[in-house]
Structure 1
Amino acid sequence: MPIHFADIATVLSGSAVGFILALVGGGGSILAVPLLVYGVGVASPHVAIGTSAIAVAISALANVMAHWRAGNVRWPCAIVFSLAGIAGAFAGAGVAKQLDGEKLLILFGLLMIVIGALMLKKRAGRGDPAIRLTATTARQLMPMLVGTGFAVGLLAGFFGIGGGFLIVPGLMLATGMPLITAIGTSLVAVVAFGASTAASYAMSGLIDWQLAGLFIAGGLLGGLAGIVTGRLIGSQDKALRSAFAGIVILAGGYVCLRGALPLL
C-alpha cells in the first residue's frame, strides 16, 4: 500500500501534539484541529474536530493511570464533574455541527488566543490537598462541580478539544483542590469530554478513522519523545511553557485570519 504525503503529515502532526502534551503538561490538543486542517489538509473543519476529539481522549487515557498511581485523582469529584461535562459536551458538539465551518474556525482561533494568554498567567499550586467529595461536603461541592463541569464540557464539545486548560482551573475553582491534584483529576474529564464529543461526531459520520489512527500513533511516539526531553531540560519547563503559549497565540491569530478571508 503506497504511503501518501497526508499520512506522513498526520503522523508528524500527531507527534507534535503528543510531544507538547508530554513536555508542558497539557495544551497540545488545542493545536490538533489547526494541524489537521492546515497541515494535513482536511477539507472539513467538522471532520478535523471529530477526528481530533477521539485522538485527544485516547492520549489522555494513556496519562490517567500514571496520575492515579501517584494519588492525584479524586475520583468522586472527577465522576461528578465528568458526567455534567458529558451533557455539556454533547450540547456543544450539537451546536457546533450546525455552524458554518469557516465561522467555527474563527471562534476556535479566538479560543486559542484566550487559552494562550491564560497559559502565560502564573498558576498557584496552593489548595487543600485533603479535599474530598463526601456526604458532608456534597452540599457545598456538588453545585459547583455540576455547574462548572457543564460549562467546561460545553466549550470542549463545541470546539472538539480535551479542555485540559479549562478543566484544571475549573476544578480548582469548584473544589479548592491544589494544582497537581486538579491536573490528575482533570484527565478523567478530558477522556470523558473527548469521547462524548467524538461519539457525537461519529454518529454524524464526521470522523476519519484512518486519519485518527495515524494521528494517535504519532501522538504516542511524540509523547515518548516529550517525556525524555522533559527529563533533560528539567528546570527550563517554565520558559518552555511561556514559549508554547506564544505559539498558541500566534497560531490562533493565523486561524482567525484564514477563517475570516473567505468571508471578506
Structure 2
Amino acid sequence: MILQALFGATIIGLSLGVFGSGGSILTVPILMYLLDVPAPLAIASSLAIVAGISFGGSIFNVLKRQVSYKHLILFGLPGMFGTYFGAWFGSVMGSKIQLFVFVVLMSIAAVFMWRGRKESAPTNAQPLHLLLLEGFVVGVVTGFVGVGGGFLIVPALMFFAGLPMLLATGTSLMIIALNASSGFMKYYELYSSQAMTFDWPLIGIMVFGGILGSLFGRSLSTLLPKQSLQKGFAVFLLAMSSFVFVRSVYL
C-alpha cells in the first residue's frame, strides 16, 4: 500500500511540476482505483492531499516573489467560501453525481491540456465583481469534486485580473492550497459526525510523495519536450475520464 501510494503521489507531483496544473485531477481516481478508498472519502481526502502538495509548492513561488497577494485575497477568499459550500453541496448530492461532474471536468482539463497555454501578453484587468464571482465559482467546483482547478484559475487570473502567466501560475497554486483546505475542513466536519474515518498515514504519504514529485518535475520541465508531453497527458486524461465514467457512473 505504501509503495502504491508513493507511486500515485509521484505521478501527481510530476504532472504538477512539469505542466503547472492537471496533476491534482488524478488524485481522486488514484485514491479510488489504485488504493481502494471509497468514493466519498476519496473526494474528501483528495482535497487534503491537494492542499498539502500545493502549500509545499507555494514556498518556492513565495521565495521567488511569484505570488500576487492582492489577487490571492480577491480571488482566494471568495474561493474558500465557495469551496466550503461546494463540499457541503457535494455531500448532499452524493458521490454518483460528484463523479459524473468529475468526469466532465476531467474531459475539459484534457482539452485545456491539449491546447496548452499561450505565452501571450495579459489582458487588461476586468471589473472586480467578475474576479470575485470567478473565485467563488471555481471554489464551488473545487469543493464539489475534490480537484484543485488550476486549469481554471490560471486563465481567470490572466483574463480577469490581467496578471502575466508566471505570476498567475504562482498565485494559482496558493489559491488552490487555500481552497482545498477550506473544502476539506467541511468534509471532515460532515464525515466525522457520520463516524467515517480518514486514513491520515495515507494522506501524509501522498502529500510527501507529491511534493517530491513536483520538485523533480520542475527540474525535468526544462529538459523534456513539454508540448508533446502535454498532448500525451491530455489523451491520458481523456482515457482516464472514460474509465471513471464506466466504472463509477455508468455501471
What is the TM-score with the length of structure 2 in the denominator? 0.91
- Residue number in structure 2 paired with 1:249: 238
1:202 aligned to 170, 179, 188, which one? 188
The equivalent residue for 2:159 is 173
Map 1:1-264 onto structure 2 (within 5 A).
6-42=1-37, 44-128=38-122, 141-204=127-190, 205=192, 207-233=198-224, 236-262=225-251
2:116/2:230 contact within 8 Å kept: no
**Alpha-carbon separation, structure 2, partners of 1:67 and 1:218:** 19
- The structural deviation recorded for 1:19 is 1.5
Alpha-carbon offset, residue 56 of structure 1: 0.7
Q: Could you list the per-position Cα deviations for residues 90-141 of structure 1 after superposition, in whole angstroms to 9, with x for gaps in the alignment? A: 1111111112323322221121011111221243323349x8xxxxx8xx64
**Distance (Å, rounded) in 2 between the aligned partners of 1:177 and 1:41:** 40
CA distance in 2 between counterparts of 1:251 and 1:25 reads 19
Q: In terms of mean alpha carbon deviation, does 6-15 or 49-58 score higher?
A: 6-15
Q: Residue type matched to 1:253 in 2?
A: S
* Unaligned stretches of 5+ residues in structure 1: 1-5, 132-136
Which TM-score applies when normalising by structure 1? 0.87
Code of the aligned partner of 2:186: S
Q: CA deviation at 1:72?
A: 2.2
User: CA offset at residue 45 of structure 1?
Assistant: 1.0
Residues 57, 214 of structure 2: 8 Å contact kept: no
State how far apart, in whole Å, the 2-side matches of 1:124 and 1:104 are. Answer: 31
SS in 2 for 1:98: helix
CA contact (8 A) 1:110 1:256 kept: no
Q: 1:83 Cα deviation (Å)?
A: 0.3
Cα distance per residue 1:163-197 (max 9 Å; x no partner) = 11111112122112222221111112111111001
Amino acid at match of 1:260: V
**CA deviation digits over 1:129-161, x for unaligned, max 9?**
9x8xxxxx8xx6421221110011111111111
Q: CA separation in 1, counterparts of 2:108 and 2:131?
A: 23
Q: Which residue of 2 aligns with 1:134?
A: none
Secondary structure at the aligned position of 1:41 is classed as: coil
The residue type equivalent to 2:247 in the other structure is R
Q: Is the contact made by 2:80 and 2:178 (CA closer than 8 Å) also made in structure 1? A: yes
Percent sequence identity over matched residues?
31
Rate the CA distance shift 1:49–1:81 in 2: closer, same or farther, 3 A: same
Superposition CA RMSD, Å: 1.9
What amino acid maps onto 2:163 in structure 1? M
Matching residue of 1:3: none
In 2 relative to 1, CA 224–183 (structure 1 residues): closer, same or farther, beyond 3 Å?
Answer: closer
Q: Hey, what's the Cα distance between the residues in 1 that align with 2:114 and 2:99?
A: 23
SS of corresponding position for 2:32: helix
Letter aligned with residue 34 of structure 1 = P
Q: CA deviation at 1:224?
A: 3.4
Q: Distance in 2 between matches of 1:169 and 1:232?
A: 25
Runs of 4+ with >3 A deviation = none
Residue type of the partner of 1:211?
Answer: L
The total of aligned residue pairs comes to 246
Q: Which runs of 5+ in 2 are unaligned?
A: none
